């Protein structure tokens, strides 16, 4: 028992070294942030490539988020991802598409994820992941209303299909009840405008830490608190706290709080052993949250797991 505890401590210590190594890439980086999710606990592969294949079978998920509904130009995000373990060597592969529209800007990421998993014990696994991305950027300056008396000549020409590559990395540890992960989905700084122009926009690194634990509080009830933190250079630290309850392996309900930003309500349904649907509603706690500005944010996720009759999990996974 002491040997197992000591080994797990060493594992967690190695996980926490990752952000220190990655911070070395962060000097001088500024710009936009990654897409935001309330139901991140069901969409982990979008922020951590080490999650790819961790469910033990092919898993496909699609998510749509409409943020600040009623506010013109507010963000809208769609993601589609699939991932699965490959063979018997601990390899997992995944593919993702993330599309986001904010005002006259449209961005699409095409991601490929690779993970390698070490089986530390019968239930414990440690995975390392790499992400390769192609980023497609469109900015339609022609949709903006400019001041005719003081025109900005840097905003005269639309940006169309600007392609740039990127890479990311992550580490993820889990057993049957606990998980913890660290990741940076986009490491490279990419300048989308020429430095000679008056305006520049650069990719921004986002550091993610995610963890959660599942308690069996009753034969029919499970309780799972989760934490997600996102660190972006030049922006306040984002902290998401959530608490979800699962009843009879089929119905999920919970609340979440995004520090100094929003409160959320979530419900989920495991319609079958393979098919899950989740819904979330956010209400801002800032001045932007007034009904005069927007009607809140809505999010829906659909996930299907291709579980064979000989599948290794006995009940729907809570993460």
- pLDDT score recorded for residue 36: 87
pLDDT tens-place values along the chain, 319 residues long = 334 434 444 444 444 433 333 333 333 333 446 788 999 999 999 999 999 999 989 999 999 999 988 888 889 999 999 999 997 789 999 999 999 998 888 899 999 999 999 999 988 999 999 999 999 988 876 666 665 665 555 555 666 778 899 999 999 999 999 999 999 999 987 765 544 454 555 667 899 999 999 999 999 999 999 999 999 877 889 999 999 999 999 999 999 999 988 999 999 999 998 999 999 999 988 876 665 577 889 999 999 999 876 545 555 577 8
- pLDDT score recorded for residue 20: 34
The token pair at 114 is 């690779």
- pLDDT score recorded for residue 104: 84
- Within 34-184, strands assigned E span 59-66, 76-86, 91-102, 105-119, 125-139, 159-174, 178-184
What spatial distance separates the first Cα and last Cα of the chain, rounded to whole Å?
26
What's the predicted TM-score (pTM) here?
Answer: 0.82
CB neighbours (10 Å) of residue 278? Answer: 24
- Residue whose pair of structure tokens reads 């405008």 in the numeric block: 193
Q: Is 8 exposed, middle or buried (0-12, 13-18, 19+ CB in 10 A)?
A: middle
- pLDDT score recorded for residue 161: 73
- Short-list 75, 94, 266, CA closest to 185: 94
CB neighbours (10 Å) of residue 28? Answer: 7
- pLDDT score recorded for residue 168: 96
The token pair at 43 is 């969409």
CB neighbours (10 Å) of residue 137? Answer: 18
Give yes or no for a contact between 284 and 261, defined as CB atoms under 8 angstroms apart: yes
- List b or e across 173-208, with b for residues whose CB sees 16 or more CB atoms inside 10 angstroms: bbeeeebbbbbbbbbbbbebeeeeeeeebbbbbbbb
> What is the Cα–Cα distance from 218 to 222, expressed in whole angstroms?
7
The CA angle 306-308-314, to the nearest 5 degrees, is 95
Length of the chain (residues): 319
> What is the Cα–Cα distance from 108 to 290, expressed in whole angstroms?
30
Question: What does each C-alpha distance from 57 to 45, 164, 319 come to in angstroms?
Answer: 14, 31, 14
Under 8 Å CB-to-CB from 194, ≥6 apart: which residues?
none
């Amino acid at each position: 028992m002491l040997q197992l505890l000591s080994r797990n401590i060493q594992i967690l210590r190695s996980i926490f070294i990752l952000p220190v190594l990655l911070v070395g890439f962060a000097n001088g980086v500024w710009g936009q942030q990654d897409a935001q999710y309330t139901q991140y606990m069901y969409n982990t592969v979008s922020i951590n490539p080490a999650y790819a294949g961790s469910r033990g079978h092919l898993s496909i998920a699609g998510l749509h988020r409409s943020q600040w509904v009623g506010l013109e130009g507010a963000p809208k995000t769609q993601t589609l991802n699939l991932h699965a373990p490959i063979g018997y060597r601990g390899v997992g592969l995944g593919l993702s598409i993330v599309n986001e529209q904010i005002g006259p800007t449209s961005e699409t990421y095409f991601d490929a994820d690779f993970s390698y998993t070490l089986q530390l014990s019968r239930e414990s696994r440690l995975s390392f992941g790499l992400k390769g991305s192609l980023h497609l950027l469109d900015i339609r300056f022609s949709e903006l209303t400019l001041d005719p008396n003081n025109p900005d000549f840097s905003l005269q020409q639309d940006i169309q299909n600007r392609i740039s590559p990127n890479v990311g990395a992550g580490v993820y540890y889990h057993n049957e009840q606990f998980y913890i992960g660290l990741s940076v989905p986009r490491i490279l700084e990419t300048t989308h405008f020429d430095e000679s122009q008056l305006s520049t926009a650069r990719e921004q690194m986002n550091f993610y830490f995610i963890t959660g634990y599942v308690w069996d509080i009753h034969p029919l009830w499970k309780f799972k608190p989760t934490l997600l933190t996102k660190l972006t250079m030049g922006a306040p630290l984002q902290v998401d706290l959530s608490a979800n309850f699962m009843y009879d392996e089929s119905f999920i309900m919970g609340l979440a709080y995004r520090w100094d930003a929003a409160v959320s309500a979530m419900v989920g349904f495991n319609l079958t052993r393979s098919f899950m649907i989740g819904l979330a509603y956010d209400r801002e706690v800032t001045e932007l949250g007034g009904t005069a500005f927007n009607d809140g944010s809505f999010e829906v996720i659909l996930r299907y797991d291709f579980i064979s009759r000989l599948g290794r999990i006995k009940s729907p996974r809570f993460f």
